[in-house]
Chains A and B, each alone.
Chain A
């Protein structure tokens, strides 16, 4: 579906009313505050630093800061500590996308090839409450693919109603392709849906017709230019209506090289001017075995460098969300950490669920202090970075979450990528490698694949690493760094970076650019193990 999840307006310093008034938001300020609510921290390479511009929660309206600070989808810090969950209650869809094969999950939201269980609204709400009581980090509930939640409005809103009755503290979100959105904005407002993600891949039907073969509109199937024209008009109208009502709107776009890659800069301007507060550009994931039109016709996805270049280009205009991963729609637990097996429908229906509101509150307060400690730690390492000049480099980090380097190299299913520049450390994305670490392949191949995935990085930070992979990484020009095990990521990365800069100064090493890296493609196979 259109996700949206990978789905998510906001205004800074003022309230949603002002947002509605002019529709234009200084996104960079907002995000800077979200990411760095304790002051100047990691502003990254592409500028827009609000360091020195008194960025802080002080000048952000408290109700807006409340909306986003614990949001694993919005805040670069929060996503280490909080989790969201998706339930699949709405499998029907009203359009067709060339990157989606609906035999499987929505390609926007999930790893293609992983079928989620379809739940009734009653089952879904029970599951959400059971998970929330077990995992206090669970603060966001999304309805996303497979399917479009607004093509199944009865099931979607019934699920929201059941959950909001018992657990009003859980934030609700949904992702949509936008076709039906204008019809449901008032209902969305009624259930206090926290944010809506719209997947917008184009604002020009000429381009859209190569992405969407058809839409279902007024009881007919429409194709080509006509279909794409209606879709883009509905998406823009829906976005404007959300903005008018002060509902956060996030935009997801799928980057399809040769089709909409350059055009996404236009999309970025169009959505920004209509009040979207975040724009998340995701790579097309495409392989023949996914059975999608793009998979079968050989349409490739972008490389890591192409993706980053586009994100950087759009960032001048608007904040980009880079910590978004194409994770499973019904993933449970901290982002990336899949605990679905503990919560099968069968197990849930047999459970006595008691919603533990108190326990959840206590946990969340503890996390808040931890998070602030981390921000303070990072800020302390910013001095002395001026030496970096124009040097910008990437490092990979093996982590299980909490903003700490706490994963063994060989166990890492993904690496977080940070960009280090004179302005600090900035999170710029994830690289998944899980496919390669499972069964069938020898260690060697697995290692090669990891190297390909992080080939654009100068170093990889791990809690532990064996001798052989260490040597191979060094041979590939990636420095394995294990002396910061169990320490904060950004702080450690900056200490290492300053050390690196000192070595350049002393002539011990010469700074070199690294090559490009591959974005993992064969998601389907990862299920084989």
Chain B
């Protein structure tokens, strides 16, 4: 699929549902910072108590992400960056949108494999996820990868929302696009802060208690 409609689908999916899911994800994780292990477990339970959760995951996350991600790689491949001669903020953002998309693609595959997929395999459970996360983010290499992956994804999300408004002709003039830049910058700061605060919360000793039980399993799984 090529052309106008494929690109419109790519753009729409970027916002609905993927960006909305990312915001939801930030809120759920934030429970780890606010409510500790119990708060996080309750937040995860709340999600898994949603009706038809399998279909929700499939149609609101997996399939849209697959299409947006694969088509996004193709869009990124098509660009011929020329930052060397045009060092403007918008051109930087154009290039970064593509680089962060590729980082997000790799990061998300790894992240889903080490969390959600391990639940499917039966190596951990939804209730044990807090401790499971503790074991991942207390390893320096993985923690750095998490930081890079999270910031790349939130940048891609915030700048993507900005681009979405242009792609659909909502912000037309330079003034509208400038104001929308500030709003999306605010969005970037808030969502990034929420993710980072929850990442640091997962590292805290609080989450270690639940972790000790499953440490051995995790180590055999992801090294």
A and B bind: no
